[in-house]
Amino acid sequence: MTKRVFNFYAGPATLPLPVLEKARDEFLDFAGTGMSVMEISHRSKEWDKAMTDASDLSRELMGIPSDYKVLWLSGGASTQFFMAPLNLQLPGKPMEYVNTGGWSTKAIKEANHFGEVKVVASSEDDKFSYIPKDVAFSEDIAFAHITSNNTLYGTEWPYTPSVPNDVPLVCDMSSNIMERPIDVKNYGVIYAGAQKNLGPAGVTLVIVREDLLDRVPDRAPTMQKWKTHAEKDSMFNTPPVFPIYICKLSLEYLKELGGVKEMEKRNVEKAFNIFIEKDFLERDNFDMVHYPFGQSTFFRYFDYAPLLHDSFSLKFKDIPRPIINVIEQKDPRGLTRIEKKTLLGLVKFPDMLDNSVAKKIGVTRQSVTKMKKRFETEGFLSTLKVPNVNELGFDIFLYIKPKFNPQISIKKGWQKHILKAYDMSRWVFIASSDLDAALLVMGKNYRTIQKNIAKAVATYKKMDFLKEYPDIKFFSLQDMVVLKNHVYGPLLEKVFAEE
């Protein structure tokens, strides 16, 4: 076999070897037809199945709702720079863009052909070295547009900006689609050139909410209407058959690996290794921390942006319901008493050997080893390397435990107002019930933090949210053990308290 190399070219990325090998094996005889996939009719049942499989896999892996259309179009993402405004324009309403790099600059240029364009935020002032924070889009606009990842400058949106109810958010995800789970419902349109994460150059994946398809003016050219391709399942004319076929194989391979969640896990590990090599993090200065019930998905210590501070952003709507259930239910996984005791011990003492954990909690070493393997296999327990967060510019660690007024329904209220109240820090972990919550926060300046906490408490008191003043503990980030002793242990003790 020809020696494979690491490909860091700016264009197409490396394809998985199993995908290339399967394409090689099927190249002369696709699906038993005796023809190459590049020769077969796009009207044949064999190709129709391949096309359907590619779309169905995209829906499955990304969780695309049924009221969205999946399109496979030619022309690259650059063609969508003008197709998006062409299809989404509304008479008399401007289009709003966030400019975060070379690709968004080009998208803005194309949009200017179709009406008024407003740039509501930009990082051009500092050579596109950051993602603007607190981006706000107007209500009376045709659509909002962002570019989720900027390969030219190494920045990535760490959060999904909110938009008014009737404003669709359009996102160019060409270089980071399927790198981690997203909620497609947050977007009206997603488009992505395939050559970074999905397959070879030559095809673009476009995901459009169905109600937006009728916006396009009648005078628009037929082939430039999304509606044209949606009505014919991307086969109004001969589609880019071979690139779509390779995308299908790549999506099958991704599913076999474990899907988008597995990709996120691998990306975090790769980023960690890169940051060590680049001396962003000290090689030996980190702790191994266990997290129960997939809570490690909350931690965005690592990001591809040079400004690592942005990696701490977290939106409440991204919190999976099972995690919130951790402090709402007494027995979320139906574990036995010994299993709960062992899981709690593993979380509280992650840096200890199995026999040491066993002595701490009063069970046998064999039990700890056996249960630990089971917990990791079944997803009860995961492990993450926690870096020295001082390297990321933070100085203070806070553990905040608010208790809420049981007479007030606060589930949505406190979540809505908390981000407005705090602007001095980055959220690392949040879980809540109607009665209380647990928050883990990193901050920079003690005086600023105190000021903002007072502001937050005043807001909650005014709304009658709080039962009492919240329990707040301050720690120096020099002592990384607080991550273990003051967050996960107490949280599980609440859940798994013995009768």
Active site residues: 103, 172, 196
C-alpha dihedral over 113, 119, 124, 126, to 10 degrees?
180
Nearest-angstrom CA–CA distance, 100 and 88 = 21
Q: Is 470 helix (H, G, I), strand (E, B) or coil?
A: coil
C-alpha distances (whole Å) from 25 to each of 48, 169, 251, 286, 419 are 20, 41, 18, 45, 54
β-pair partners for 145: 97, 170
Beta-ladder partners of 466: 404
| ∠ Cα 121 123 125 (to 5°) | 115
Buried b (16+ CB within 10 A) or exposed e, 322-332: ebbebbeeeeb
Say which residue the tokens 């399942």 belong to.
233
The neighbouring-strand residues paired with 102 are none
d(CA 140, CA 81): 21
Closest listed residue to residue 394, CA positions, set 312, 276, 470, 274: 312
Distances (CA, A) of 73 to 236, 257, 310, 409, 483: 10, 26, 33, 47, 47
Secondary structure of residue 474 in the 3-state scheme: strand
Whole-number CA gyration radius for the chain: 25
Residue 365 Cα distances to 39, 335, 346, angstroms = 62, 19, 12
Strands (E), 254-349: 286-292
CA–CA distance, 140 with 313 (Å, rounded to integer): 27
DSSP per-residue string spanning 355-367: HHHHHHHTS-HHH
Alpha carbon separation from 243 to 203, 369, 373 (Å, rounded) = 6, 47, 41
Helix and strand totals (H; E) in the chain: 15, 15
H or E element, residue 421: helix 413-421
- Here the tokens at position 367 are 């039990």
Scan for tokens 């203070």, then name that residue: 396
Residue 60: phi, psi to the nearest 5? -65, -45
